[in-house]
């Protein structure tokens, strides 16, 4: 087996408060193979963005990694601090955020920002780097790249800016790109283009993508595997097609049913009652049990771990051999 590009083991993220620590991420583990695209999907408060921030060491204080390990290409990175972390973020992990303006410095031209990033990675002359930068912009679909490279970020439209951010994320040829809601702020007709560019360019360069989004449609288009997150835990993880067509966790199937379809007639949408629990009021046992229609006594008592089920892994007591019998009607 090849070493995974990214390996997260039992990650726990806590926010200390005066009433004791709140656990925002609670025992999340997953691997990301070279060249693979992993989708992290979930509703607000599921902890998907927090997982991304924890990996690149950008947790907002007072949030902190309480336990667990994060490995990048066989090297443990969760204990890196300061400059080591910045180097890691610049060279080995590329980042694309929801708002392109958070990744671009408004005071510098695109050329300056791209050339700087390229030269932290490769020891080449400015001229050489500029050529590469133009090539990158061409690759991400910026028309007339050789002319537009000297423009400032504000001179680009929203979609073009996000393309520039993708070029910037790929400039140092990272092994991993973390994309956190890269299309959420964009118009529908632009979203599709950006997703395509991101996927195409990463695949060509062999970079893995961790794609964090609330939009199941984007995941379906892009990802190889998907992790469905709920209340700081992974509810279900597996190949995209299997999860979409054959969801096993009651939360996943509820989530899929609540999305209005473009092709099917449906008078009523499936609705999951209630809302995601607040961190301060996390239910005991399975975090989803108060909203689950298939809940039984074991769910309220203890927390299910991920259980391998064919191609999926599911954290639900319904699939535990010892208890499943009791739950069947």
Sites of contact with other proteins (CB under 8 A): 18, 43-44, 157-160, 187-193, 195-196, 214-218, 220-221, 241, 244-245, 254-255, 257-264, 266-273, 275-276
Which residue, 106 or 273, has its beta carbon nearer to other proteins?
A: 273
Spell out the SS3 assignment of 204-244.
HHCCEEEEEECCHHHHHHHCCEEEEEECCEEEEEEEHHHHH
Q: How far is the CB of 41 from other proteins (least distance, A)?
A: 10
Which residue, 5 or 164, has its beta carbon nearer to other proteins?
A: 164
Which residue, 46 or 88, has its beta carbon nearer to other proteins?
A: 46
Which residue, 270 or 326, has its beta carbon nearer to other proteins?
A: 270
H runs (alpha helix) in 63-187 = 82-87, 110-121, 126-139, 145-148, 158-170
Q: What separation in angstroms does the CA of 114 have from each of 23, 86, 103, 122?
A: 38, 16, 12, 12
Q: What separation in angstroms does the CA of 235 have from each of 113, 137, 216, 247, 286?
A: 39, 38, 15, 11, 10
Q: How far is the CB of 252 from other proteins (least distance, A)?
A: 11
Which residue, 29 or 246, has its beta carbon nearer to other proteins?
A: 246
Which residue, 8 or 37, has its beta carbon nearer to other proteins?
A: 37
Backbone angles phi, psi at 214, to 5 degrees: -95, -5
Neighbouring C-alpha atoms within 13 Å toward the C-beta of 58? 15
* Cross-strand bridge partners of residue 71: 7, 76
Q: How far is the CB of 189 from other proteins (least distance, A)?
A: 5
Task: Please answer whether residues 269 and 260 qualify as being in contact, where contact means their C-beta atoms are separated by less than 8 angstroms.
Answer: yes
Q: Which of 160, 164, 87, 83 is nearest to 120 (CA)?
A: 87
Q: How far is the CB of 270 from other proteins (least distance, A)?
A: 6
Task: Please answer whether residues 117 and 89 qualify as being in contact, where contact means their C-beta atoms are separated by less than 8 angstroms.
Answer: no
Q: How far is the CB of 299 from other proteins (least distance, A)?
A: 18
Q: Which of 12, 10, 8 is nearest to 66 (CA)?
A: 12
CA dihedral 103, 107, 110, 112 (to 10 degrees): -110
Residue 325 three-state SS: helix
CB proximity list for 73: less than 8 A, separation 6 or greater: 3, 5, 92, 175
Q: How far is the CB of 3 from other proteins (least distance, A)?
A: 31
Which residue, 44 or 302, has its beta carbon nearer to other proteins?
A: 44
Q: How far is the CB of 87 from other proteins (least distance, A)?
A: 29
Which residue, 174 or 238, has its beta carbon nearer to other proteins?
A: 238
Q: How far is the CB of 185 from other proteins (least distance, A)?
A: 10
Which residue, 73 or 193, has its beta carbon nearer to other proteins?
A: 193
Residue 41 three-state SS: strand
Q: How far is the CB of 259 from other proteins (least distance, A)?
A: 6
């Amino acid at each position: 087996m090849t070493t995974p590009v990214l390996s997260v083991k039992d990650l726990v993220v806590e926010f200390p408060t005066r009433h004791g620590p709140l656990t925002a991420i609670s025992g999340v583990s997953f691997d990301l193979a070279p060249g693979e695209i992993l989708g992290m999907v979930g509703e607000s408060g599921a902890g998907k963005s927090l997982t991304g921030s924890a990996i690149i060491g950008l947790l907002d204080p007072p949030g902190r990694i309480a336990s667990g390990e994060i490995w990048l290409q066989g090297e443990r990175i969760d204990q890196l601090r300061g400059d080591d972390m910045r180097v890691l973020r610049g060279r080995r992990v590329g980042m694309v955020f929801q708002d392109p303006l958070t990744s671009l410095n408004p005071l510098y031209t695109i050329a300056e920002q791209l050339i700087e990033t390229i030269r932290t990675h490769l020891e080449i002359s400015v001229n050489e780097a500029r050529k590469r930068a133009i090539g990158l912009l061409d690759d991400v679909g910026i028309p007339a790249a050789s002319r537009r490279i000297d423009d400032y970020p504000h001179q680009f439209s929203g979609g073009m800016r996000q393309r520039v951010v993708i070029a910037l994320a790929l400039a140092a040829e990272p092994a991993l790109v973390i994309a956190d809601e890269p299309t959420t702020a964009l118009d529908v007709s632009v979203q599709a283009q950006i997703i395509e560019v991101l996927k195409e360019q990463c695949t060509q360069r062999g970079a893995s993508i961790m794609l964090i989004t609330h939009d199941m449609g984007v995941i379906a288009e892009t990802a190889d595997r998907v992790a469905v997150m709920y209340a700081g835990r992974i509810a279900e993880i597996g190949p995209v097609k299997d999860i979409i067509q054959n969801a096993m966790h009651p939360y996943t199937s509820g989530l899929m049913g609540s999305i209005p379809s473009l092709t099917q007639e449906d008078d009523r949408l499936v609705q999951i009652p209630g809302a995601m629990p607040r961190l301060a009021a996390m239910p005991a046992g399975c975090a989803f049990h108060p909203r689950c229609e298939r809940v039984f006594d074991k769910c309220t008592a203890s927390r299910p771990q991920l259980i391998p089920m064919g191609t999926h892994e599911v954290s639900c007591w319904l699939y535990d051999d010892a208890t499943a019998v009791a739950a069947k009607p």
